[in-house]
């Protein structure tokens, strides 16, 4: 328990964190990687370059400070981050390193404003917060290892099949190299893939949603090749997977993790709303839902640039034909001539309020969102305008948590 004096000091820093939080976390990562370059084998370098990791940490520190007197309110966030930490291999011995460099970054950025009293209060608070993470993650590590088919750390899987799903998305069917059982997972969860790429100094770890229903003798990940744009480089891991990894090669996987999961106890209709490669966990969810309850009402709405990059379209349409209570709708922002000739989509352009109201059979449903952050932010806003209760909207971030 924190002393009341410590709580008051931490809360007094909330306005400062609101202004300088990202500056502090940027400096934190610079200092930590300079002091402990081995941690570059754990953290996603691309998210560092884009500033996503720094922003996510700044938001987490701000939330911890704001709710320091009621830390139980941020336990869901602790659990969500804990799943990611477990899949990456974050261990208790990493927390003192983080604490030391975070406090040093606060002092460095705020200068004289970061008095000894403030630094001491934050040291005390960080100890409590770190203990919460370590406790949650210890339980996750134990469950991941001791469940049937489970394992510790990373396990070798062989690429049994490599399937092109679209111009930019390829699926990899992965079976354990040792031939033993694999751990169960909940639809919506992901695995971390650890890769050593020739010519790269550091190991790279990326997280990919499992895109098939549980209960198969394999895991399937469906990876979008990030070709890069003017303001950002191509994705090293996704490009390597697409261009270099072939059937028979070995990938190292963590046990499945994640809190964005399908609620199979929900009797109301389900709505899956995705953009781009965000459909991957939704495909797993829809398949599982219909395997468990073939008569469950569901709506699958997906936004893509066009049919060339729209993955798994035929498979989803086959499910809808087989289950008449399932509706599917496609929105293409840049349809090709062939898309128009085949009438392959239901809306041209971005999803808007009027069209969404037309295709939704009901707002009394459970909604799942996944895709780029701007897409999910826009969709959440539209759903709220439709009258959907915020508690019925659930989403998954690919990468560090952001805000909608």
Query: Annotated binding residue at 278?
Result: yes
Query: Annotated binding residue at 279?
Result: yes
371: left (phi over 0), alpha (psi -120 to 50) or beta: left
Query: Annotated binding residue at 62?
Result: no
Query: Annotated binding residue at 190?
Result: yes
137 is catalytic: yes
Cα separation of 95 and 106, whole Å?
16
Query: Annotated binding residue at 277?
Result: yes
Quote the tokens at residue 386.
């439709």
Query: Annotated binding residue at 385?
Result: no
Query: Annotated binding residue at 51?
Result: no
Of 62, 126, 137, 219, catalytic? 137
Cα separation of 379 and 390, whole Å?
12
Query: Annotated binding residue at 398?
Result: yes
291 is catalytic: no
Of 29, 95, 141, 173, catalytic? 95
Query: Annotated binding residue at 187?
Result: no
Query: Annotated binding residue at 85?
Result: yes
The SS3 assignment for 311 reads coil
Q: Which residues lie across from 195 on neighbouring strands?
A: 204
**Strands in 52-164 per DSSP E:** 155-164
Query: Annotated binding residue at 127?
Result: no
What strands lie across the sheet with 250-253, from one edge to the other?
Answer: 204-209, 190-195, 250-253, 155-164, 169-176, 219-224
Q: Which residues lie across from 224 on neighbouring strands?
A: 169
Non-local (6+) Cβ contacts of 225 within 8 A are 168, 169, 170, 235, 238, 239, 241, 242
Q: Under a CB-based contact definition with an 8 Å cutoff, are residues 258 and 83 in contact?
A: yes
Query: Annotated binding residue at 400?
Result: yes
Query: Annotated binding residue at 399?
Result: yes
Binding-site sequence positions for heme b: 85
Binding-site annotation: residue ranges: 85, 190, 206-209, 276-281, 397-400
**Where is the binding site for FAD, in residues?**
190, 206-209, 397-400
Tell me which residues are annotated as active site. 95, 137
Provide the annotated binding site for NADP(+).
276-281
């Amino acid at each position: 328990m924190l002393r009341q004096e410590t709580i008051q000091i931490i809360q007094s820093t909330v306005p400062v964190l609101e202004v300088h939080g990202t500056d502090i976390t940027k400096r934190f990562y610079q200092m930590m990687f300079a002091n402990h370059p081995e941690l570059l084998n754990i953290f996603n370098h691309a998210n560092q370059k884009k500033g996503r990791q720094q922003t996510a940490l700044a938001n987490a520190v701000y939330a911890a400070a704001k709710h320091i007197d009621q830390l139980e309110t941020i336990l869901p966030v602790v659990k969500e981050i804990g799943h990611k930490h477990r899949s990456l291999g974050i261990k208790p011995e990493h927390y003192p390193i983080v604490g030391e460099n975070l406090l040093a970054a606060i002092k460095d950025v705020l200068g004289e404003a970061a008095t000894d009293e403030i630094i001491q209060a934050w040291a005390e608070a960080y100890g409590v917060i770190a203990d919460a993470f370590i406790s949650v993650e210890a339980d996750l590590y134990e469950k991941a290892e001791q469940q049937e088919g489970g394992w510790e750390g990373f396990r070798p899987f062989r690429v049994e099949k490599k399937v092109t799903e679209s111009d930019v998305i390829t699926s990899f069917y992965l079976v354990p190299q040792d031939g033993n059982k694999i751990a169960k997972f909940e639809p919506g969860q992901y695995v971390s893939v650890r890769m050593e790429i020739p010519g790269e100094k550091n190991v790279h770890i990326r997280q990919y949603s499992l895109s098939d229903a549980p209960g198969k003798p394999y895991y399937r990940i469906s990876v979008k090749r990030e070709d890069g744009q003017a303001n950002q480089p191509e994705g090293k891991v996704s490009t390597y997977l697409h261009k270099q990894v072939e059937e028979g090669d070995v990938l190292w996987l963590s046990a499945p993790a994640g809190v964005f999961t399908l609620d199979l106890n929900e009797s109301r209709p389900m709505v899956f709303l995705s953009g781009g490669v965000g459909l991957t966990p939704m495909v797993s969810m829809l398949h599982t839902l219909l395997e468990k309850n073939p008569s469950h009402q569901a709506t699958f709405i997906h936004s893509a640039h066009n049919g060339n990059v729209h993955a798994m379209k035929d498979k989803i349409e086959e499910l809808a034909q087989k289950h008449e209570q399932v509706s599917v709708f496609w929105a293409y922002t840049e349809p090709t001539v062939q898309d128009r000739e085949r009438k392959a989509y239901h809306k041209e352009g971005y999803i808007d309020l009027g069209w969404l109201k037309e295709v939704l059979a009901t707002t009394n449903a459970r909604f799942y969102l996944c895709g780029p952050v701007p897409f999910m932010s826009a969709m959440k806003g539209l759903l709220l305008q439709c009258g959907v209760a915020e508690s019925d909207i659930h989403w998954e971030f690919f990468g560090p948590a952001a805000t909608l």
